[in-house]
Amino acid sequence: MATRSGISQVRRGNSSPSTDNFATQISELGNNVLVGRVTDVCLNSNSNTFKTSGEYFGIGSIEWEDVKISTSKATKKSSMGKALPLQPFIKDFPLVNEYVVLISGVGVKNPGASADPVYYYINLKLWNDNEQNASPDPLSNANNNNSPQNYKTYSEIEAGVNMEAPKLPPPLNLNGRSGGNFVENGDVKAVIPFAGDRIFEGRFGNSIRLGSTAKTGGDITNNWSKSGKEGSPITILKNGQNASITGPGFIPLSEDINLDPTSIYLTSTQQIPIVVATTEVKSNLGQTIPFSGMVRNTPPSPQSYNNSQILLNSRRLLLNSSRDSIILSATKSNIIDSWGDSAIRSKGGNVNILSPKGNIALGETNASEAVILGTSFIKLMDTFLGSYGQLLQAMSKEPTLSISAAFAYTSYENSIQKLRAQLSTMLSEKVKVS
């Protein structure tokens, strides 16, 4: 049975501890873990610490001050330090005046360095707010309305008092000396978790949910768990949030593929209630089945499908292949549907519509009129007109016929020749049929 040890235990590389020295380890852990307030973040060459932090090696490093030392500015100055991100492959850098957890660790030391480097690894969610969780320095903001004495207490929160991150006007700085322009919108809501979810959220209403079919109660439910086996996986990528949602920023929300600006859903057994753009709504009949009548075997409607699929929904979709092909391949049907024009263009090659085993229908699915083979028809018509002219010429020379036969040949000879000359112009140079 494995026993978890503290950070100091890991640093020393000792074996699993016994219960006898547990209190000692807790004490040592407290000496190696700090909470610091961020005073600056190195994001680019504009930072004051860019050179001293190793230039681009130091991107993401912070300057911090110990929040426990607040007796005087002089004391505070002596408690400031620098820290590197513990996981540099995850870019989740704090804002100025946010709090982080700091630990002492091992690393590459400068010659003569007397201490291990310091790393930060957690941004504390003081306000449980996705945008910012800053709190000002009480020494520099003692007379400011944002000072801690004006914040809600934990007891007030337990009693049901709403708590949000305070709106932070100047002089409280969120951007630091590196520059940038982080602006708090004030209405970004977190997505609500369900049992077993792993959720990654940005500060701007963007999120990734690694979740499942979770049939659960509560005031906020999801719309993908009405069907499907519980525990079936689903992955949801959301960029932005429904602008019509109102209410306090601390109240979370659930994703909605029809109302969120941009979404990608990867499903397994769920039915996603997406409304297709070309769905018609007829009075007293409700919504028509999307794509009905477009192919012989209409696929299941997007709202009823309950197998693995990928759904992309946004105000606009652009698929661009800068070097090679775009390939759309399906076991069943390929459908392109729109309210406006639909176009297929090739600027340098052919446009091929092939159906080796089926028909090509133009106009409607059950089209029954056959297209004339133009080249074959022109050849046949040319032969007919030639034979017809020969017939009229022979009749004009027959002595037993009236003079009207000769007149008929003279009258129609020029017309026949003109028709035969126009036949070649009736063939399309672009469209070919087999």
pLDDT of res. 50: 82
For the segment 339-362, the average pLDDT, to the nearest whole number, is 90
More confident residue, 244 or 208: 208
**pLDDT tops 80 at residue 12:** no
More confident residue, 188 or 6: 188
More confident residue, 94 or 8: 94
In tens, the pLDDT along 230-269 reads 899 999 999 998 888 877 777 889 999 999 999 999 999 9
- Name the pLDDT band for 28 (thresholds 50, 70, 90): low
Distance (Å) of CA 281 to CA 192, 288, 293, 317, 339? 32, 6, 16, 24, 13
**pLDDT tops 80 at residue 87:** yes
Q: Is the pTM of this model over 0.85?
A: no
DSSP letters, 155-189, are HHHHTT----PPP--TT--SS-TT-------S-PP
Cα distance between residue 239 and residue 263, in whole Å:
6
Cα distance between residue 111 and residue 87, in whole Å:
24
Report the percentage of the chain scoring pLDDT > 70. Answer: 73
pLDDT of res. 59: 85
Q: Any idea where the domains of the chain sit in the sequence?
A: 7-150, 187-349, 374-426
pLDDT of res. 235: 98
Of residues 96, 95, 101, the one with CA closest to residue 36: 101
SS3 assignment, position 121: strand
Of residues 229, 230, 261, 228, the one with CA closest to residue 244: 261
**pLDDT tops 90 at residue 425:** no
- Name the pLDDT band for 134 (thresholds 50, 70, 90): confident
pLDDT of res. 18: 46
For the segment 333-340, the average pLDDT, to the nearest whole number, is 90
| 234: β partners | 211
17-21, 55-59, 86-90, 247-251: the lowest-pLDDT one: 17-21
pLDDT of res. 282: 67
Compute the mean pLDDT over every residue in the chain, rounded to the nearest whole number: 77
pLDDT of res. 326: 93
DSSP letters, 386-405, are HHHHHHHHHHHT-TTS-HHH
More confident residue, 226 or 185: 226
In tens, the pLDDT along 373-411 reads 888 888 888 888 888 777 777 766 766 666 666 666 666
The two structure tokens encoding residue 195: 């049992």
SS3 assignment, position 123: strand
In tens, the pLDDT along 295-322 reads 888 888 888 899 999 999 999 999 999 9
**pLDDT tops 70 at residue 13:** no
- Name the pLDDT band for 197 (thresholds 50, 70, 90): very high
9-18, 211-220, 280-289: the lowest-pLDDT one: 9-18
pLDDT of res. 210: 96
Residue 403, C-beta contacts closer than 8 angstroms, at least 6 positions apart:
none
More confident residue, 71 or 313: 313
Task: Judge whether 212 and 232 are in contact, CB under 8 Å.
Answer: yes
For the segment 264-293, the average pLDDT, to the nearest whole number, is 82
pLDDT of res. 213: 93
| 118: β partners | 104
Task: Let me know how long the chain is.
Answer: 434
